[in-house]
Amino acid sequence: MQGKIALEEHFAIEATLGDSQVFGAHVWETLGPRLIDIQDMRLAEMDKHGVEMMILSLNAPAVQAIHDVKTAIAVARQANDVLAEEVRKRPMRFAAFAALPMQDAEAGSAELTRCVKELGFVGALVNGFSQTGSPDTVVYYDLPQYRTFWRTVEALDVPFYLHPRNPLPSWARQYEGHNWLLGPNWAFHSETSVHALRLIGSGLFDECPNLKMVLGHIGEGLPIYLWRIDGRNGWMKEPHRYAAKHGVGHYFRKHFHLTTSGNFSTPALVNAVTEMGADHVMFSVDWPFEDVGEGAEWFDKAAISESDRVRIGRENAIELFKLKI
Q: Which residues make beta-bridge pairs with 124?
A: 98, 160
Query: What is the bridge-based pairing of β-strands 281-282 and 256-259?
Result: parallel
In whole angstroms, what is the distance from residue 175 CA to residue 320 CA?
37
For residue 259, the SS3 value is strand
Measured between alpha carbons, how far is 197 from 34 in angstroms, rounded to an integer? Answer: 33
Q: Which is catalytic among the residues 286, 291, 300, 308?
A: 286
Residues 229, 251: contact at Cβ < 8 Å?
Answer: no
Burial 151-166 (b: 16+ CB within 10 A, else e): ebbbebebbbbbbbbb
Q: Which residues of 1-36 are buried (b: 16+ CB within 10 A; e: fewer)?
A: beebbbbbbbbbbebbbebbeebbeeebeebbebbe
In angstroms, the CA 65 to CA 75 distance is: 11
- Residue 286: active-site member: yes
**Helix (H) / strand (E) containing 139:** strand 138-139
Q: Of the candidates 134, 124, 79, 120, which has an alpha carbon nearest to the alpha carbon of residue 102? A: 124
Phi, psi values for residue 299, rounded to 5°: -65, -40
- CA atoms 113, 118, 119, 122: torsion sign: positive
**DSSP of 99-138:** P--TTSHHHHHHHHHHHHHTT---EEEE-SSEE-SSTT-E
In angstroms, the CA 91 to CA 320 distance is 17
Give the containing element (helix H, strand E) for 48: helix 41-48
Catalytic residues: 286
